[in-house]
């Protein structure tokens, strides 16, 4: 057993794992990714171009069933945009 304080890992809903840094991440192919930041965001969505580190690409995710802005109902379109 170690006397060290437990390291805090915070799960962000629909986002990354926030891990107290610095961290060394060992990838399945043996690659080592290191970050010396105080808090490191580890990607869980696999959309990051900087995987395994989060680049906030998870924010682009659409919620299931959420209508696209272009698909707004006709009554929500400004009257100037409606056909006569």
Q: Point out which residues bind ligand FES (CB under 6 A).
A: 15-16, 43-45, 47-48, 54-58
The least CB distance from residue 17 to ligand FES, in Å, is: 8
Buried b (16+ CB within 10 A) or exposed e, 6-26: eeeeeeeeebbebbeeebeee
Residue closer to ligand FES by CB (options 10, 72) is 10
Type and span of the H or E element at 23 = strand 23-26
Nearer to ligand FES, 35 or 47 (CB): 47
Nearer to ligand FES, 20 or 47 (CB): 47
Q: How many angstroms from the chain centroid is the CA of residue 58?
A: 3
């Amino acid at each position: 057993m170690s006397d060290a304080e437990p390291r805090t890992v915070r799960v962000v809903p629909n986002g990354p794992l926030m891990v107290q840094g610095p961290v060394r991440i060992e990838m399945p192919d043996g690659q080592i990714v290191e970050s010396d930041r105080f808090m490191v965001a580890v990607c869980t969505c696999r959309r990051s171009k900087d995987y395994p580190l989060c680049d906030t690409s998870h924010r682009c995710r659409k919620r299931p069933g959420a209508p696209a802005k272009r698909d707004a109902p006709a009554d929500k379109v400004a009257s100037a945009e409606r056909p006569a």
